[in-house]
Amino acid sequence: MEGSRLTGAAYAGVGTVLAGTSFAATSLLTRYPFLSGQTLRFAVGGLALVVVLLWMRARWPRPTARELGLLALLAATGLAGFNLAALEALRYSEPAALGVLVGCTPVLVALVGPFFVRRKPSAPIVGAAVIVVIGAAIVIGLGATTWLGLVFGLLTLLGETAFTVLAVPVLPRLGPVVVSTYVCLIAAVEMAVLSLLLEYPGFRVPTASEAWALLYLALAVTAVAFIAYYGGIQRIGAERASLFAGLIPVASAFAAPVVGTGHLGWPQVIGSVIVGAGITLGMATPSKPVAPEVAIA
């Protein structure tokens, strides 16, 4: 595997594995107001990214009107919308059912993503995405749902897909760190408005364990994971980067026993192997070169 692709795979892998550990951290926040917690998460994550940009003395490109619109849409759908849809989906379906639906993201990105760069979908990558989805479904297991759970689950899937495909047009000029910073800060404002409208006066100071969980979500799962995942997209393209979404349930399955919220069994091990096989197949498939990397500094 060539160096740039290997680096991109490492970035996408790190980003999605960190995202997968979010479920374990979120399990410590079940009693904390949801919207308030998301507001704090994105605000702290966004401010941390601002500090990174200042420390790097990086050039901070001003987005055009079109880019700002895409960033706002990405924040509204891929961050705020995704979290709200997932919350509602879990009211009407079991977590496993939602996980299977969201696990279809690699297939949807493999089919839709190429149109953002005026290419046809790659049959081998679509096939690899199907293998990844099958493996992820085995890791998660199947769960019961209702028609409302299915509707909100599909909205969650669209939000997860938007998180990837809407970043494609803005990454070449703005770069992963700047894109991550903008979407975090915009999402923090959006979630703050929703929190005031729907949870006020529900905000309270988090307990020590809740504060650590929120800090982990803000820094590792948001700031670091976003930079890594978008850096992966910039190097290997959206379709291949999205294959690594199959690592989210794998990381969640392996992290759950650590915090005492689940167990690891043979289905999780077998499914993880299948996910790895699908990712390997997708990464080994020849393709046209992706757009050259654009520096942020």
Torsion 219-5-236-253 (CA) sign: negative
pLDDT at 69 > cutoff 90: yes
pLDDT of the residue at 188: 96
Integer CA distances (angstroms), 224 to 13, 46, 49, 231, 276, in order: 12, 11, 9, 11, 23
Q: Judging by beta carbons within 10 Å of its beta carbon (0-12, 13-18, 19+), is residue 60 exposed, middle or buried?
A: middle
User: How many Å apart are CA 44 and CA 104, to the nearest integer?
Assistant: 30
pLDDT of the residue at 297: 30
User: How many Å apart are CA 278 and CA 160, to the nearest integer?
Assistant: 19
Cα 6–Cα 123–Cα 153 angle in degrees, nearest 5:
85
pLDDT at 1 > cutoff 60: no
pLDDT at 292 > cutoff 60: no
pLDDT band at 143 (very low <50, low <70, confident <90, very high): low
User: How many Å apart are CA 80 and CA 73, to the nearest integer?
Assistant: 10
The neighbour count for residue 121, using CB atoms within 10 Å, is: 16
Taking residues 115-126, report their average pLDDT. 84
User: How many Å apart are CA 244 and CA 168, to the nearest integer?
Assistant: 16
Q: Which residue has the higher pLDDT, 259 or 254?
A: 254
pLDDT at 55 > cutoff 80: yes
pLDDT at 147 > cutoff 60: yes
Q: pLDDT above 70 covers what percent of the chain?
A: 90
